[in-house]
């Protein structure tokens, strides 16, 4: 039995980056031997085991053969006679197909170290084109390492285009696609992820709503917004909302116009196709509907301002309203005139929310209001506070 450190831990050490997790490959062992040594199997049909002390993953060296559609359409062969080189050649990129033995000696049969030095993302073998998930993975690595000067090899781009045309992307489950998309949006350059997918034709399959924005020359602004999200360390709900906000963007005065409603249907379609988490879905729809209101916040009448605050449930979920303001600010920061005008609406909206929250329920209860009457009394009091707030800030 020989044990090798593989993949990302080797790659990131050579890049001088922090190693967050370590994967191991075991050569010359069987599943029975692993369990006899105390390793716990992850699943009945997959040759991966958890170390009895560290919990790290140890996988038996294996080969794979295409047997169906999608990223799961493979049969695996794990046996003591499978070599380390056999295992590494099935990986996606050369920079991920390196290993280290127990003495720290590098094993690099496919030129991963050279490609690291050349800042090149290059596939290991033609079998790359058998797994549609690799299109998203390569785009994600491009987003992670763009600022280090990495680019995708042209021959790898050609295989990505081939995969996008093959129809195989439609076989990806929403859960698996979302896992890659969400991880990529949290990389240092999420805009690169979207650009790479667009260039190879995959974005039209995965997120046609966003692809349409790029086709209509709105890509540069979207990329700028995503870069602002990364630069300011925004969380996933804000980044997802910013990715989709262009679908409902409008220069009209804030109103329930047909263009916004069409955009909201597009956002909902993307939410459902990707099965995004609820917080991401809700924020994306709220940003799509109310972004124009935020931009015109000081001009909104008190009634419209209260309606906006009520839709965000600022009393029980203040963090969601803060995420909304932040998403709107990221959009404004990506505009050429931001340095001249800034985004004073953010402070205005926060002040309006504070004014509405300042209305206490207890005095109204003491005055005998209950049920629907209490709700109406709260609304009247909050409107009065907002009218006063508007007058103070006129």
pLDDT, tens digit, for every residue of 122-141?
A: 999 998 988 899 999 999 99
**pLDDT at res. 251:** 41
Give yes or no for a contact between 51 and 83, defined as CB atoms under 8 angstroms apart. Answer: no
Write the CB contacts of 108 (distance below 8 Å, at least 6 apart in sequence). Answer: 97, 98, 99
Residue 147 domain-assigned? no
What's the domain count of the chain? Answer: 2
74 pLDDT higher than 70? no
* Least confident segment among 89-103, 123-137, 236-250: 236-250
E strands present in the chain = 2-6, 23-27, 40-43, 46-50, 57-60, 62-66, 74-78, 99-100, 106-107, 120-121, 151-152
Segment 289-301 mean pLDDT: 93
Residue 194 domain-assigned? no
Q: Please state, in angstroms and rounded to a whole number, the distance separating the CA atoms of residues 87 and 266.
A: 42
Write the CB contacts of 83 (distance below 8 Å, at least 6 apart in sequence). Answer: 27, 61
Cα 309 off chain centre by? 27
| Partners of residue 24 on adjacent β-strands | 5, 58
172 pLDDT higher than 50? yes
Residue 79 domain-assigned? yes
**pLDDT confidence tier of residue 47, bands split at 50, 70 and 90:** confident
Q: Please state, in angstroms and rounded to a whole number, the distance separating the CA atoms of residues 86 and 6.
A: 13
Domain that holds residue 357: 243-394
Residue 35 domain-assigned? yes
Segment 378-382 mean pLDDT: 93
Residue owning tokens 């009091």? 381
**pLDDT at res. 43:** 75
Segment 235-254 mean pLDDT: 80
Among the candidates 56, 80, 110, a domain finishes at: 110
Task: Quote the radius of gyration of the chain (alpha carbons, Å).
Answer: 26
Write the CB contacts of 360 (distance below 8 Å, at least 6 apart in sequence). Answer: none
What is the three-class DSSP state of 328?
helix
Write the CB contacts of 158 (distance below 8 Å, at least 6 apart in sequence). Answer: none
Cα 191 off chain centre by? 11
Among the candidates 40, 75, 110, a domain finishes at: 110
**CATH number for the domain harbouring residue 68:** 3.30.460.10
Among the candidates 110, 131, 164, a domain finishes at: 110
What is the three-class DSSP state of 243?
helix
Higher-pLDDT residue of 374 and 64 is 374
Give yes or no for a contact between 284 and 271, defined as CB atoms under 8 angstroms apart. Answer: yes
Residue 253 domain-assigned? yes
Residue 177 domain-assigned? no
**pLDDT at res. 51:** 92
Residue 140 domain-assigned? no
**pLDDT at res. 291:** 93
**pLDDT at res. 260:** 79
């Amino acid at each position: 039995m020989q044990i090798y450190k593989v993949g990302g831990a080797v790659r990131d050490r050579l890049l001088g980056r922090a190693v967050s997790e370590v994967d191991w490959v075991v050569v010359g062992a069987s599943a029975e031997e692993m369990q006899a040594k105390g390793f716990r199997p992850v699943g009945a049909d997959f040759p991966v085991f958890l170390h009895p002390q560290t919990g790290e993953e140890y996988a038996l060296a294996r080969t794979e053969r295409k047997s169906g559609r999608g990223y799961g359409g493979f049969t695996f062969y794990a046996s003591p006679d499978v070599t380390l080189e056999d295992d590494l050649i099935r990986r996606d990129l050369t920079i991920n197909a390196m290993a280290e033995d127990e003495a720290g000696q590098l094993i690099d049969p496919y030129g991963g170290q050279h490609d690291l030095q050349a800042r090149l993302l290059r596939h290991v073998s033609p079998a790359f084109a058998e797994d549609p998930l690799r299109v998203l993975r390569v785009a994600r690595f491009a987003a992670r390492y763009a600022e280090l000067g990495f680019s995708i090899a042209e021959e790898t781009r050609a295989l990505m285009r081939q995969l996008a045309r093959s129809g195989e992307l439609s076989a990806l489950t929403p859960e698996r696609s979302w896992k890659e998309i969400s991880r990529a949006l949290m990389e240092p350059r999420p805009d690169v992820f979207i650009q790479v997918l667009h260039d190879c034709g995959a974005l039209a399959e995965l997120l046609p709503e966003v692809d349409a924005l790029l086709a209509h020359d709105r890509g540069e602004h979207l990329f700028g917004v995503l870069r602002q999200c990364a630069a300011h360390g925004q969380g996933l709900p804000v980044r997802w909302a910013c990715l989709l906000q262009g679908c409902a963007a409008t220069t009209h005065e804030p109103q329930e116009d047909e263009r916004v409603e069409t955009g909201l249907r597009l956002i909902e379609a993307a939410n459902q196709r990707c099965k995004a988490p609820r917080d991401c879905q809700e924020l994306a729809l709220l940003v799509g509907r109310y972004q124009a209101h935020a931009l015109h916040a000081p001009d909104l009448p008190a009634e419209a301002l209260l309606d906006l605050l009520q839709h965000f449930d600022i009393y029980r979920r203040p963090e969601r309203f803060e995420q909304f303001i932040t998403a709107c600010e990221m959009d404004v920061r990506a505009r050429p005139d931001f340095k001249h005008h800034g985004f004073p609406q953010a402070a205005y909206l926060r002040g309006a929310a504070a004014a509405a929250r300042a209305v206490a329920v207890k005095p109204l209860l003491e005055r005998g209001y209950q049920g629907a009457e209490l709700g109406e009394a709260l609304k009247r009091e909050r409107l009065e506070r907002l009218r006063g707030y508007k007058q103070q800030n006129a």
